Amino acid sequence: MERERTLIIVKPDAVQRGLTGEIIKRFEQRGLRIIGMKFMQVSRELAEKHYDVHRERPFFKALVDYITSSPVVVMALDGTNAVQAARNTIGATRPSESAAGTIRGDFGLEIGRNLVHGSDSPENGQKEVALWFDESELVDWGRVVDPWLYE
């Protein structure tokens, strides 16, 4: 399998609730490798670019207002099947439909406060990582445990 990149955003509700460390831990324990991470206040311009696919939907302004309302932690993750592995770790978009043991299943209650964003496809993972990170901010590194995770 080819390695993929995925973008993870620990959203304002998770940061405000003090869940950042727990969320990062779950991705690391899953075996995904952090290749970039930053704590930031999202600009409206970046938020609008990120959510551009929803621009014509009635909830677009609310998405932008929300993601810019408080700092976030943004991560670029790498691994085999990284997008699907991350999405399985996150859980269903609606927390009420998320399985126990997922981030949203364990900590979420409402769709509008669902704690974390994860890329929805390998193609979008590449695009989103490139939108949020300069290539110089990403570190390609090897872990001593990689042979125990990947065939």
- 4-31 pLDDT, tens per residue? 999 999 999 999 999 999 999 999 999 9
Task: Tell me the average pLDDT across 37-64.
Answer: 96
Q: Which residue has the tokens 């700092």?
A: 71
Q: Which of 26, 33, 87, 117 is catalytic?
A: 117
Q: Would the pLDDT of 1 be above 70?
A: no
For the purposes of burial, counting CB atoms within 10 Å of the CB of 100, is it exposed (0-12), middle (13-18) or buried (19 or more)?
Answer: exposed
What's the pTM?
Answer: 0.94
Q: Would the pLDDT of 76 be above 90?
A: yes
Q: Which helix (H) or strand (E) holds 104?
A: helix 103-107
> Does the annotation count 117 as an active-site position?
yes
CA distance 36 to 134: 10
Sheet of 116-118, strands arranged across: 33-40, 72-80, 3-10, 116-118
CA distance 59 to 131: 22
Question: For the chain, which domains are there?
Answer: 3-142+144-148 (3.30.70.141)
* Nearest Cα residue to 81 out of 9, 11, 149, 10: 149
How confident is the model at residue 116, as a pLDDT? 97
Give pLDDT tens digits for 78-123. 999 999 999 999 999 998 999 999 999 999 999 889 999 999 999 9
